[in-house]
Amino acid sequence: MEQLTLTPIDAVRGTINLPGSKSLSNRALLLAALAEGETHLTNLLDSDDIRHMLNALSELGVAYRLSGDKTECWVQGNAGAFNVAQTKTLFLGNAGTAVRPLCAALAASQGAFTLTGEPRMEERPLAPLIEALRQAGASIECHKAAGFVPLTIKGQRLQGGEIEVDGSLSSQFLTALLMAAPLFSGDVTLVIRGELVSKPYIDITLDTMAKFGVGVDNHDYQRFDIKGGQTYRSPGDFLVEGDASSASYFLAAAAIKGGPVKVTGIGKQSIQGDIHFADALEAMGAKVVWGDDYIEVIGQGLHGIDMDMNHIPDAAMTIATTALFAKGPTRLRNIYTWRLKETDRIAAMATELTKVGANVEEGEDYIQIIPPAQLQHAEIDTYNDHRMAMCFSLVALGDTPVTINDPGCTAKTFPDYFMRLASVSHTN
Ligand SMILES: O=C(O)C1=C[C@@H](OP(=O)(O)O)[C@@H](O)[C@H](O)C1
Ligand SMILES: C=C(OP(=O)(O)O)C(=O)O
């Protein structure tokens, strides 16, 4: 297995032009494929999760052209649902933003589609989405375990009506239904059961749908009304914002070491909830400067925080390793869904933070971290989870090295992460 040992970093300073947002890239690609007209996407993310979406669209007969560096894409829209004659098998890796939205869009298309993924994807929940789609008449057969991929969808025009969806395990089920609903024959009302998690991702979905000409009536995130029988319309150009979750590692590094570090491609107007990671850093004592197209952090002596992190589940992981450098305990609450992502992130985080010397308390839906007096050099297991690799790179900001096992797992969302980190790292 590949390993990377990072030697202690004495200072971080500079500017990072962020790669495009994963969440926006995959939403915009799918809606561009369903839309009438050509869409020109810029600042598209080039990473495994996006490649899986692009490969799937090719299989589905969507014509697109990528620029040499794969950050620009011209998509010829299909002007409606997909229509294929033969059964298509789509391998979607471990990309939640491909599996869930495609599952719904294909249930409302013409043809037969088998969705498969990496072993971890076969453990990540899909049952609430399958149940909701079946209420609309969808035909979905799971091949191994009920409620998981691999599965086969027999696409058909789905009827509208009132559909209940459980929102308590992932917001991606609701995102998938929202994006597919205009393809249904009749009007659709989506009613949320349970407490909706990761709410800001629904704002990303609604904003992207609006850019492709489809409005949704949002009744306080409890109920959503969408007109059936609509066709998305290409906005022409679509600029993908920088990835706010990817920004978190650089902003945290500045908070820990002083910085300043500026990330560009996101700013105070950004639609991604993860920009509010900067508020968490501010609560820990960092200074944050908000621009229209940048966020800059200047560090000060950090102290621990006790915060509900349900609104920023991905970036919240970065607070867990930032906590190693704060005075006093940090408690991250309402993070049960960490257990359902690339790995069981609460368990993985607790194990690896303990290895570097922290005193960690793990609960069903929280983690508490008491930083050690002195960080220890450890080999960090990353569990095929890009964010574990990126979060633990911050340990090198102490005065001990850190060894990251399988650093290549950052390819899911940020293939050149370690090079970018090196570009703002300085040693005396
Ligand atoms: O819709 C999206 O783009 C995402 C939603 C979140 O998932 P959950 O809603 O499952 O928490 C987030 O963790 C994921 O990385 C991306
Ligand atoms: C949870 C994540 O990914 P996914 O889109 O596969 O859910 C993530 O990127 O942290």
Q: Is 80 annotated to bind ligand?
A: no
Atom 3, ligand 2: residue with shortest CA distance: 96
Is 314 labeled as catalytic in the residue annotation? yes
Pocket of ligand 2 (CB under 6 A): 94-97, 314, 341, 387, 413
Three-state DSSP class for residue 290 = strand
Answer yes or no: is the ipTM higher than 0.95. Answer: yes
Partners of 219 in beta bridges? 223
Q: Which atom of ligand 1 is nearest to the CA of 23?
A: 3
- Among 151, 163, 3, 177, smallest CA distance to 89 is for 151
C-alpha span between 63 and 65 (Å, rounded): 7
**Average pLDDT of the residues in 129-137:** 98
- Among 381, 391, 324, smallest CA distance to 352 is for 381
- Torsion on CA atoms 43, 46, 51, 57, rounded to nearest 10: 10
pLDDT for 1 equals 86
Buried (b) or exposed (e) across 369-402, using 16+ Cβ within 10 A?
A: bbbeeebeebebbbbbbbbbbbbbbbbbbbebeb
Q: Which ligand has its closest atom nearest to the C-alpha of 96?
A: 2
What percentage of residues in the chain have a pLDDT greater than 70? 100
Return the DSSP state at 412.
Answer: G
pLDDT for 97 equals 99
What percentage of residues in the chain have a pLDDT greater than 90? 99
Question: Is 144 buried (19+), middle (13-18) or exposed (0-12) by CB count in 10 A?
Answer: exposed
* Tens-place pLDDT, residues 317-339: 999 999 999 999 999 999 999 99
pLDDT grade, residue 428 (50/70/90)?
Answer: confident
Pocket of ligand 1 (CB under 6 A): 23, 96-97, 170-172, 175, 197-198, 201, 313-314, 337
Q: Which ligand has its closest atom nearest to the C-alpha of 208?
A: 1
C-alpha 393, offset from chain centre:
19
Average pLDDT for the chain: 98
Distance 360 CA to ligand 2 centre (A): 24
pTM score: 0.99
* Tens-place pLDDT, residues 399-414: 999 999 999 999 999 9
pLDDT grade, residue 350 (50/70/90)?
Answer: very high
**Average pLDDT of the residues in 246-255:** 98
C-alpha span between 263 and 248 (Å, rounded): 9
Active-site choice (274, 314, 381, 406): 314
pLDDT for 5 equals 98
| Res. 223: pLDDT tops 90 | yes
